[in-house]
Structure 1
Amino acid sequence: MTAIWVIWAAVLLDLLIGDPRWLPHPVIGMGKVIRRVEGWIRHRATTAQGLKRAGILLPVIVAGGSFVLTWLLLLLCAAIHPWLAWGAEIVLIATTIAVKGLRDAGLEVYSHLCSGNLAKARYSLSMVVGRDTDHLDEPEVVRGTVETVAENIVDAVIAPLLFALIGGAPLAMAYRAVNTLDSMVGYKNEKYESLGWASARLDDIANWIPARLTAGLLTVVAAMFSLQWKQAIAMVKRDARKHPSPNSGFPESAVAGALGIRLGGENSYQGVISFRAYMGDPECALHAEHIRVTTRLLLGVSILFTVLGTAVLGLITAAGGALWL
């Protein structure tokens, strides 16, 4: 049953302090390792085919290494004292989730819009998205914020918590490594199409179940908050698979349906226009309040999944078939 309390303590720790800048974050270390391994690979593989084969090494080295190093660290802590191992595991799992950080990022944009400072709202949005924000009007700033918060519920909350429930901090840290790899090398462009294909595919696989779980949880929480939960179900069925990502469309379409808004449309990336399929019906115009409601959905889904996940883990443990490694 210790595993259950570790998960809850990690979630509460994230809700309380998030990711303070003074605390070294594992993702920074992962990023440095990824760049070094990438450089090592590119020095030795000079053809597209060679890069494609070598691309398999990235998730093996980075994700596999993250799992092993975390496991060894916890083993060392346990040899010193069990409480040290529990404390280390709580902190490590907390670094893989970002409920507070994602919520704060959304509410920062919301606060600037409420005070009428569109320029600051654009800047705050630019810190969490890759699209150009300099010329966005208020509805487009709202759209970008809602899309970002909705999409990241999967990889910032549900997926790492799911893997933590299955395999503790080692598996949660391996997932975070996969997600970091995808954000750094998982692009379909000339530079990374060959090298990053394995990392991008593994990230899609890792998020497949969490994305669909998130859509279901969003529907339940929407019903709890007296939002349009039936419309959320309908939009997931109709629009989720229109998204270029096999996973991101599920939380985005669920949020669009629950709020009665339309997401998607034209985005600009370094001046290049890209169209993303529409999700949801424009029953009402986008406004700042939609950001606040989306952050409430984020918090509700995070707590609901923690309750349900630890309850299932408790039942499995009681039945003698614990999943905890």
Structure 2
Amino acid sequence: MAEGVGMLAGVAIDAVLADPRRGHPVALFGTAAAGVEKRVYGDDRARGVLHVALCVVPVALLGHVATRSGNPVVRAALSAAATWAVVGGTTLGREGAAMAGFLENGDLTGARGRLPHLCGRDPSGLGESGLARATVESIAENTSDAVVAPLFWGAVAGVPGLLAYRAVNTLDAMVGHRNARYERFGWAAARLDDVANFVPARITGLLAVLGAPLVGGSARRAAAVLRRDGHRHPSPNAGRCEAAFAGALDLTLGGVNVYGTRVEHRPEMGDGPGPSVADIRRAVRLARAVGLGAAALAVLAVLRRR
């Protein structure tokens, strides 16, 4: 009971306060993980496995020790704090709204400067339509990574699950890249992140399908696009989220993406037009609905387990 109440409180705190601008626990973890990387880095998978173990296991153990108190008020408070620290739905929505505001005002320079807050795509060559597509796709994927997945693991394993998931996801963002430095060293972080997000991504897809009518879409059409296109994305998880959002918003997502010197050709998903500026705010509304649905499911799962 205490953990469920704490998770609900943490989601509410995130809705009001969003992420702290300074001293965010995830940022502090990232700094520590970068320090560990300097000490153990080697161009092989074994070193990458060691890096993941040294970063994730202590975080999970910390969560376990912190919640061993027999006082339900303490457990609820710790659960609330951990949930707030790892859930990023409000910040995601604000970033999407900021991108929409720049593009609605015709400020491409501002929008290009803001896009790195959402994804690693090179914004320099993107026009209005490219920026809108990048934003909608990032909102779809990050709804799973920043909201649904941490809540899922919180429901499964409590505070240790919340903290361990965020550690894994942060490591993937730091070292899970396909480049000369991280192709082998980052393999463990990338694969573990894939495993950790396998179920949450599919929950995200289903919740987006159910939420389609809230943004003027059809649940039946969204389900059809998810079923047909969800597996076509090179990521085993992101495709489910993007395909569901494409179907729910009646858009087509995918195409050519540029990441620095690397160009990726992503399969197209959906049957509608490409995203416009107006679709960004619709995607934000859908992401919020998915997040609320995930929070409700997570809290119910915790309460039923007690």
Q: So what's the TM-score if we normalise by structure 2?
A: 0.94
**Correspondence list, 1:97-116, <5 A:** 97-116=87-106
Alpha-carbon distance change, 115 to 185 in structure 1, aligned in 2, over 3 angstroms: same
Alpha-carbon distance change, 126 to 60 in structure 1, aligned in 2, over 3 angstroms: closer
Q: Separation in 2 of the partners of 1:273 and 1:142?
A: 18
Alpha-carbon distance change, 313 to 91 in structure 1, aligned in 2, over 3 angstroms: closer
8 Å Cα contact 2:215/2:249 also seen in 1:
no
Is 1:69 aligned to 2:68, yes or no? Answer: no
Partner of 1:269: 259
CA radius of gyration, larger in: 1
Shift of 1:132: 1.3
Q: Separation in 1 of the partners of 2:11 and 2:18?
A: 9
Q: Separation in 2 of the partners of 1:194 and 1:266?
A: 25
Deviations 1:36-95 (A, max 9, x none): 2222223xx5xx5xx3222211221111111112333344xx48x653443233112111
**Correspondence list, 1:6-21, <5 A:** 6-21=6-21
**Correspondence list, 1:150-169, <5 A:** 150-169=140-159
Is 1:202 aligned to 2:192, yes or no? Answer: yes
Letter in 1 for 2:303: G
Is 1:121 aligned to 2:111, yes or no? Answer: yes
Q: Separation in 1 of the partners of 2:2 and 2:72?
A: 11
Alpha-carbon distance change, 311 to 72 in structure 1, aligned in 2, over 3 angstroms: closer
Q: Separation in 2 of the partners of 1:101 and 1:36?
A: 27
**Correspondence list, 1:150-189, <5 A:** 150-189=140-179
Letter in 2 for 1:216: L
Is 1:310 aligned to 2:303, yes or no? Answer: no
Shift of 1:188: 2.2
Instruction: State the secondary structure of the residue aligned to 2:19.
Output: coil
Instruction: State the secondary structure of the residue aligned to 2:230.
Output: helix
Shift of 1:280: 1.1
Q: Specify which of 253, 266, 276 is matched with residue 287 of structure 1.
A: 276
Shift of 1:272: 3.6
User: Any gaps of 5 or more consecutive residues in structure 1?
Assistant: 318-325
Instruction: State the secondary structure of the residue aligned to 2:122.
Output: coil
User: Any gaps of 5 or more consecutive residues in structure 2?
Assistant: none
Instruction: State the secondary structure of the residue aligned to 1:274.
Output: strand
Partner of 1:31: 30
Q: Identity, % of aligned pairs?
A: 35
Partner of 1:299: 288
Q: How many residues align?
A: 306
Cα RMSD, aligned residues only:
1.7
Deviations 1:111-160 (A, max 9, x none): 11122222212221133221111231111111000000000011100010
Letter in 2 for 1:10: G
